[in-house]
Amino acid sequence: MALNGQRRLERRWGWLMAVPAILGFVIFTAGPMVASLVLSLTDWQIGGTPAFVGAGNYTELADDELFWKSLSATTYYTLGAVPVALIVAFAVAMLLNQKVRGLPVWRTIFYLPTLVPAIANVVLWIWIFNPDFGLLNSLLRQGGLPAGMWIYDENMAVPSLIVMSTWGFGNTMVIFLAGLQGVPQHLYEAVSVDGGGPWHRFRHVTVPMMTPTIFYNLVVGVIGTFQVFNQAYVMTEGGPNNATLFYVYYLFRKAFRESEMGYASALAWVLFMIIVLVTFLLFRNARRWVYYEMAGAR
């Protein structure tokens, strides 16, 4: 079919407009990914010449105690941070979906922590967790409760960071809020007509209608928390005794401190595969509990 002038023009400009995005992806994402895949098959220290070792780095990983340690620390963090963030964000979104006075102000307040730059946030929490003069222990002491060592204690470090991560639930909350506003009113009315109370409305309308949003936030949360880095980098340097040796921090340390680029690339690919696998499993499992109003619209 011959294209007329207008359509040819549009086609050409369409491509042209898309070029920056495509180039950005190819140069800064796809290219480095391919490079790191190749590098992961080599023994390469910065400054040296890469030597091909096949799957050597990957087999070495299996015997690397710190690899397993970092994987378990990260999994621990994900298993804690994601559910807590989902529950808190959902609860606050429910509250902010009520018709109360000063609603925009409340919404702003709850969203504000998200706007704090990552490092400023971390520095603030270092102070909050300080065993001697931090906010948390001061409050506990005033309440006559035992104070903790928080991020300076091997067993408390990851739970402390989970608490801290919850603080930045603003984005998740906004998405929930949008979802809540999309729940059709007539369903609530139907429950009321049948004599149902608030619990029934929540259990039989809100939750089922929100499952796609919950699912979305779950997937995004899992992917994000598997890549947790700032806290380990700025607050704990992976300590104490490797308690917070998160995967990406370990990868960073291997790559840029020990300059083991080949090994670090292998670490990166293993993490990528883990995230792909977990996401795949989540989607498989989603069929059982996620409800889409328009069946087949997925």
Partner 1 sequence: MRRRQLLALSGLAALAAACGDEGSPNDVQLQFMYWGSTFEQKAVEKMLKSFEDSHAGAKVKALFTPDEYDVKLNTLVASGNVPDVGYVPMAMSYRLAEQGKLVNLFPYLTKYPQLAGYLSDAYLWYGRDQLHGVATANEIELLWYSKSAIKDAGIAPPPAEAGKAWTWDQLVSNAYRLTIDQNGKHPDESGFDPKQVRQFGISSSITYAAAWYGFLRSNGADFADEGGTRCLLDAPEAIEVFQNLQDLIYKHRVAPGPGQLAATGDDVPGTNILLKTKRVAMVVDGHWSLLDMNESKVDYGIGVLPKYDKPFTTSQVAGASAVFAGSKHVEKAVELFAFHLDPRYVDLYKLGLWMPQERKYYEDQAAIDSWTKNDSHPPEFRTAVVDYARDHGVPDLRVRLKNLQAINSDVLTPALQEIETGKRPAAEVLKEAAPKITSRMQGWHHKQKV
Which residues of the shown chain bind partner 1 in the complex (CB under 8 A)?
Answer: 45-48, 65-66, 122-123, 126-127, 129-132, 141, 147, 149, 151-154, 234-237, 239-242, 253, 256-259, 261
120-127 own/partner pairs: CB under 8 Å, 24+ apart: 121/167, 121/168, 122/230, 122/231, 122/234, 122/235, 123/234, 125/164, 125/167, 125/235, 126/151, 126/234, 126/235
C-beta of 53: minimal distance to partner 1 in Å? 18
153 or 227, CB closer to partner 1? 153
C-beta of 253: minimal distance to partner 1 in Å? 6
Asked if residue 79 lies in contact with residue 73, where contact means CB atoms within 8 angstroms, the answer is no
C-beta of 73: minimal distance to partner 1 in Å? 12
C-beta of 227: minimal distance to partner 1 in Å? 18
Q: Which of 69, 39, 61 is nearest to 247 (CA)?
A: 69
C-beta of 257: minimal distance to partner 1 in Å? 6
Q: Which two tokens stand for residue 205?
A: 């309308």
State the DSSP code for 145. Answer: P
C-beta of 250: minimal distance to partner 1 in Å? 10
Q: Which of 255, 163, 269, 179 is nearest to 217 (CA)?
A: 179
Separation CA 206–CA 184 (nearest Å): 9
137: left (phi over 0), alpha (psi -120 to 50) or beta: alpha
C-beta of 141: minimal distance to partner 1 in Å? 8
Query: Which amino acid would we find at residue 236?
Result: T
82 or 255, CB closer to partner 1? 255
b/e per residue 75-105 (b: at least 16 CB within 10 A): ebbbebbbebbbebbbebbbebbeeeeeeee
Q: What size, in residues, is the chain? A: 298
